[in-house]
Structure 1
Amino acid sequence: MIRGVLFFVIFYFSPVSVFGYRCDRRPYGATTQSTASDGRFRLTVVGAEGVYIPEQLYVVKIRTNDNEARFIYFIISAEGDMKPDPRNPRRLISHLAGEVRPQDFGTAKFSDRCPNSVEQVISNLKSSVEVYWQAPPSGNGCVTLRAMVAENDDLWFEDGPPLTQKLCEDSRQPDDVSPQLNYECSICDDAKYEISFRGIWSRNTHPLHFPENPKLPRYSSFVGASHAADYILWAPGTLASDGLKELAENADSSKLEAEIIEKIGDGIRTLIKGKGHGYRKMNRTSYSYFRADKANHLLSTVVAIYPSPDWFLGVARFELCLEDNTWLKERELNLYPWDAGTDSGVSYESPNIPTVPQDAVKRVQMSSYDRNSPFYETDMKDMLPFGKMQIKLVKTYHRNCEEAAEGETPGPDKDGDGEDRQEPEEPSRYQNSGNDGGENPIQPDPESQDNCPVSQWQPWDCEGKCVDGKREGYRRVDRFHIVNGVVVDDTKPSYKKLVPKECLNKYKMSSTEECTEDCSSDEERNTAVERRIGNPIAPGHPWVSKKRDLPKEIVSLE
């Protein structure tokens, strides 16, 4: 008898029973079995779209899908996947599932009967409840979060997709993951961001089933929006809009842009658009600008890869307002393909196979067993990204908190500053696109070839005397070779060593033109000490000025 009791105690507290045991979550006093979920109640993990970041804290919610349903009892549990015990492979134990704990001890408490669970404190009618879940350390695989919801003692629901969420450890690097959503953003200042997209997809980086015709692959326009928390441009688990379907299948962004424009001022602050690139320009960078504010602090973007069934790259609901209520300074994200759920093709050039009924947006299937798939037996963590997106804070605009609280925000950026709404127009031949404070990225001259890129023309000052308010003279313009994305200053000794020989004499690199501009004698005095001689400055290089031989009264101004 004693031996039997000892056996029971050891069994009850063994790793299998503690971590793998499914408890009875039937409401106290219930005599009925659970009822299949009718979809009115849903379990969600905020900020975790099918994956979790190890050791990160998440908010888990039970909420109603209408404004009428209410519940009295609930239990939320976390369960880890089973694995063989390394000390005894014939026995199964559970991976760590993290920790579920109350957020408000007035509404939830640790469960007395279920491990790693919380339940209600009082039996009142509820429309929602929130608790915390601390994700487990790395290496623990997938975790299943389950909820039981009871309307009364006899009508209760558990499990099923609406009340169960299975999350697996995110295999990406932390810098590829969006920050936790900040629903309590309280930044008063507005922010201006530069956003860029650079394509990486090529025959060299992703050779399996890459299109044979080199002129066929391209990226669509880079489209997105800065928006409020209650707006969804796209998100995993949702159905793609008609605009996203058209972009993902045909690389046509016009319908999606129209959908965004229609919501500007009603959940959207800025329409984002950058140029799409194709043959011989796949790796060129597209730039755009946008603004964010206290109400519109999330970012969503999409860019299609073509040809493909319905695959696209992008980020959904990326948080710019950090937990300490400061604006995100800078982040570079690796982008991997998403499936819009509208076409069932398995390879880039698969025939059109509409998905009926339409499926939810999800990751393109990795580690596929289909040999026609470009991801045949390929894990995402072992795959190069298809593109990179960089987000960079350019400046902030001071606003006092009283104005922000009253909602006196600037007008929507539908037709506002062009630089905020979309990528600037193609620069003219003599436009200075140098880096003035980080707002104008250095871009290659469109006339130059990819294997020998040069900068756009850089104008020098108009040189000449100021006579009767007019300066008539000459202006010299120059452009510079670009090597590995960096402008090479031709005044440096290493100039000819850095620039490939075949590029040295390929283009005309300087020119002189007549110029006329307004001027004044005061302006002449104050700016004369700053005029320089010699060659103009290469973009991205420091300005080392030299003084002219100036009259003594001008030199004394220094």
Structure 2
Amino acid sequence: MDTTRNILSVSEALCHLVVLMLTLGQGVRLMPVPTDVPMCTASETAQYRLTFTGKWTQAAFPKQYPVYRPPAQWSNIIGVTHSSDYHIWQRNEFASNGVREFAEKGEAWTLMKEVEAAGERIQSVYGILSAPAVVGGTGQTCTEFEVFARHSYLSFIVRIVPSPDWFVGVDSFDLCDGDHWKENVSLELFPYDAGTDSGFTFSSPNFETIPQDRITQITSSFPSHPANSFFYPRLKHLPPIAKITLTKIKKTNQIITLPVEPTQSNQLPTGNEIEDKLINTPLDCEVSVWSPWGLCKGKCGDSGVQHRTRYILMHPANNGAACPLLEEERKCFPDNCL
């Protein structure tokens, strides 16, 4: 009996040990340690100035350029500093409800709640940053923020206004380089589709995408539809629609400063920091299909003439291909002639 009890006790102990090891193993899997992410070993925090520059001009993007109701402009900037295990948005992944509301309507309440929840749950978010909207397709706005070694990544999102659900932004840009911080960074920005609205043009009415698509980058050939406001089949690549510069600044005792008011000029700012050349994207004329041939007009016994027409869908711009003839005629013989 004693031997039997000892065997049962050992068996129970082994069983508890196996359960404990499995539990610990599951715990480790729930909180993986990234092995392919370079570790930041910078000993001090760093402060940066983020400058957002809109480059959405009618010369660079002439197709359906929004001039009024509302004119081309940008939303305010919403961003976070965080660790490598967090993403406010990701290319080829589904947008969260917060990103959806911001990309479609510019409403940031749900997005901020998601950021706060991530910060409380997995301690991955260090700080939230914002900057005022740019009230035009071009202009600047800027803000300042702080990063440190454990949270050295920057992500942000800016809505394109007007648009169905289009935005520009950066996902998880690491400002740390080994044991030191990067001094100056310039990044060109291109449009993204949040995958939640199916509109093709800047002013498309709300048309929910069911089922929801993943976030994709918009290019000169994707989506491949002539109605798309960014569809320029003659271009290999779209010109950048915006850009940001990140400049490391001297540390102060202040963690984050108030955002600087944006410029309201209709021209791209000029100066030492920005030396962009204005881009002129050629826009070819687009015409409708031909109408049916009209009635044959002429005297009985003689040949007559009939016409067909088409109309201009898109006028050319920036030395794009000129419009073809909008009317044709051909000889015919009148029908039902008495």
Q: TM-score by structure 2 length?
A: 0.63
Q: Counterparts in 2 of 1:113-124, with a 5 A limit?
A: none
Residue of structure 2 in register with 1:242 after alignment: 97
Kept in 2: contact 1:251–1:305 (CA 8 A): no
Residue of structure 1 in register with 2:129 after alignment: 272
Of 342, 345, 348, 2:196 maps to 342
* Secondary structure, aligned partner of 2:98: helix
Q: Which amino acid aligns with 1:194?
A: R
What is the alpha-carbon distance in structure 2 between the residues aligned to residue 451 and residue 357 of structure 1? 39
Kept in 2: contact 1:209–1:373 (CA 8 A): no
Q: Which amino acid aligns with 2:66?
A: P
Cα 1:201–1:451 change in 2 (3 A) is closer
Cα 1:309–1:388 change in 2 (3 A) is same
Q: Counterparts in 2 of 1:204-353, with a 5 A limit?
A: 204-213=59-68, 215-264=70-119, 266-278=123-135, 281-322=136-177, 324-353=178-207
* Secondary structure, aligned partner of 1:276: coil
Q: Counterparts in 2 of 1:191-210, with a 5 A limit?
A: 191-210=46-65
Residue of structure 2 in register with 1:370 after alignment: 225
Kept in 1: contact 2:46–2:248 (CA 8 A): yes
* Secondary structure, aligned partner of 1:284: strand
Q: Counterparts in 2 of 1:52-201, with a 5 A limit?
A: 67=26, 182-201=37-56
Q: Which amino acid aligns with 2:105?
A: N
Q: Which amino acid aligns with 1:352?
A: N
Kept in 1: contact 2:139–2:266 (CA 8 A): no
What is the alpha-carbon distance in structure 1 between the residues aligned to residue 137 and residue 230 of structure 2? 21
Q: Counterparts in 2 of 1:327-476, with a 5 A limit?
A: 327-368=181-222, 369-378=224-233, 382-395=237-250, 417-419=255-257, 423-424=259-260, 450=265
Q: Which amino acid aligns with 1:231?
A: Y
What is the alpha-carbon distance in structure 2 between the residues aligned to residue 128 and residue 263 of structure 1? 17
Offset, 1:263: 3.9
The gaps in structure 1 that reach 5 residues or longer are: 1-65, 71-126, 131-180, 398-409, 411-415, 427-442, 453-482, 487-558
Offset, 1:317: 0.6
Q: Which amino acid aligns with 1:244?
A: V
Offset, 1:326: 1.6
Cα 1:350–1:67 change in 2 (3 A) is farther
Q: Percent identity?
A: 28
The gaps in structure 2 that reach 5 residues or longer are: 1-24, 273-338
Q: How well do the aligned residues superpose, as a CA RMSD in angstroms?
A: 3.3
Cα 1:310–1:216 change in 2 (3 A) is same
Residue of structure 2 in register with 1:26 after alignment: none
Q: Which amino acid aligns with 1:272?
A: L
What is the alpha-carbon distance in structure 2 between the residues aligned to residue 291 and residue 343 of structure 1? 34
Q: Which amino acid aligns with 1:359?
A: D
Offset, 1:363: 0.9
Q: Which amino acid aligns with 1:423?
A: P
What is the alpha-carbon distance in structure 1 between the residues aligned to residue 225 and residue 38 of structure 2? 42
Q: TM-score by structure 1 length?
A: 0.39
Total equivalences in the alignment:
242
Offset, 1:380: 7.2
Deviations 1:513-552 (A, max 9, x none): xxxxxxxxxxxxxxxxxxxxxxxxxxxxxxxxxxxxxxxx
Greater relative contact order, per chain length (Cα 8 Å cut-off, separation 6+)? 2
What is the alpha-carbon distance in structure 2 between the residues aligned to residue 297 and residue 206 of structure 1? 34
* Secondary structure, aligned partner of 2:110: helix
